[in-house]
Structure formats: structure tokens, C-alpha cells
Structure 1
């Protein structure tokens, strides 16, 4: 049986970062009117203008998307870490980690870069690392 302590530790770190991502999405939802006014002033200084309603709708939609995708990534990572207990389930766990990484890449448009990289590394480690098999033959006594 292989000790998969590194995968478990990096998985827990990724779970914590995904929970922070859910908090970031909630922060985006809690933006008040003054933030959008300041943002619109910056856009007007650059010569562009955008209706505040459109800006609010897009920030809120992305906040919801960020929360949902981060929570999906956290759940998949939790299931993957739990499944790392046996070597036979390590392949399935690695696949879950890779699916979670791809979900974070696509769903957050690359903003969840650190947990995505961690999950990619964990997924590859889970798929590549194989248990050592001892070779015993009757020809060479051990």
C-alpha cells in the first residue's frame, strides 16, 4: 500500500482554497452601489462608458458562477481525498481531481489558478504513482 500523504495534504489545501473562492464569489455579490459608481468613473476617464445596471448584472452573474464552480470543485476534491484510502480507488480519485481542475479552469476563467494547479498535480500523482510489487520467483530464493 502506498502512502499518499502528499496527495492528501495538497487536496486539503485545495479544498481550503476553493472555500476561499466561494467567499470571493460571495464578496462579489455583496458589492454596493458606490463600488459600481467608482468603477464607472474609471471607465469614463478612459473614454468608455457602461450602464451601471449592466455592470451590476455582470458582476453578480460572475459572482454566482464563481461560487458554484468553486463549491463543485471543493466537493469533487473532498470525494477524491476520501477515495485515496485504497490503492484501487486511486485511479478514480485521480480522475476526480483532474475533472475538478478542468471545471475550475473553465468555470472561473482561470481565476482559481492555484487550486487548479494543485488539483492537476494531485490528479497526475494519483494516476502515475503505482505500488511497488515485489518479485518472488522459485528460481531465486529470498
Structure 2
């Protein structure tokens, strides 16, 4: 049986970072109208203009998407860490970690880079590391 302490620790770190990502999405959703006015002023200086409603809708949509994707990644990571208790389920947990990493990559447009890389590494470690088997078995005595 392999001790998967490294995978578990990195999994817990990625869960914490995903929870922080949920807070970041909530922060985006709590932005006030003065923020949208400032963004619109910057856009007007560059020669572009957007209606405030469109800008607000797009920022709120991205905040919601960021929260949902971070929640999904956190739940998949929690299930993956729980499944790491046995070597038989290490492949399943590795697949869950890789799915979580791809979800973060696509859903957050690469903004959740650190948890995504951690989950990718954990997924590969869970899939690649195999338990040591003894060369001599009881079935074939020497």
C-alpha cells in the first residue's frame, strides 16, 4: 500500500484555494455601480463605450460562473481526497482530479491557475504511482 500523503496534502491545498475562488466570485458579484462607472470611463478613454447594463450583466455572469466552477472543482477534489484512502480507488480519484483541473481551466478561463496546476499534478501522481509488488510470492516457492 502506498502512502499518498503528498496527494492528500496538495488536494487539501487545492480545496482551500477553490474555496477562496468561491469568495472571489462572490466579491465580483458584490461590486457596486461606481466600479462599472470607472470601467466605463477607462473604456471611453480608449475610444470604446459600453452601456452600463451590458457591462454589469457580463461582470455578474462571469462572477457567477467563477463561483459555480470553483464549487464544482472543490466538490470533485473533496471526493478525490476521500477516495485516496485505498490504492484501488486511486485511479478514480486521479480521474476526478484531472476532470476538476480541466473544469477550472475551461470555466475560469485560466484565472484559477494555481489550483488547476495542483489538481493536474495530483491527478497524474494518483494515476502513475502504483503499489510495490513483491517479486517473490507464496505461489511459486524458490
TM more than 0.5: yes
Deviation at 1:120, TM superposition (A): 0.3
Task: Find the aligned partners of 1:43 and 1:29 in 2 and give their Cα distance.
Answer: 20
Task: Find the aligned partners of 1:16 and 1:92 in 2 and give their Cα distance.
Answer: 21
Partner of residue 103, structure 2: 103
Task: Find the aligned partners of 1:36 and 1:128 in 2 and give their Cα distance.
Answer: 47
Deviation at 1:135, TM superposition (A): 1.0
Partner of residue 92, structure 2: 92
Task: Find the aligned partners of 1:117 and 1:93 in 2 and give their Cα distance.
Answer: 16
Q: Does the residue aligned with 2:2 lie in a helix, a strand or coil?
A: coil
Partner of residue 62, structure 2: 62
Partner of residue 8, structure 1: 8
Aligned length: 139
What's the RMSD between the two structures over aligned residues? 0.6
Task: Find the aligned partners of 1:106 and 1:119 in 2 and give their Cα distance.
Answer: 14
- Structure 2 unaligned blocks of 5 or more: none
Tell me the TM-score normalised to structure 1 length: 0.96
Partner of residue 126, structure 1: 126
Deviation at 1:138, TM superposition (A): 1.9
Partner of residue 51, structure 2: 51
Query: After the TM superposition, which parts of structure 1 deviate over 3 Å for at least 4 consecutive aligned residues?
Result: none
Q: Does the residue aligned with 1:76 lie in a helix, a strand or coil?
A: helix
- Structure 1 unaligned blocks of 5 or more: none
Partner of residue 138, structure 1: 141
Tell me the TM-score normalised to structure 2 length: 0.96
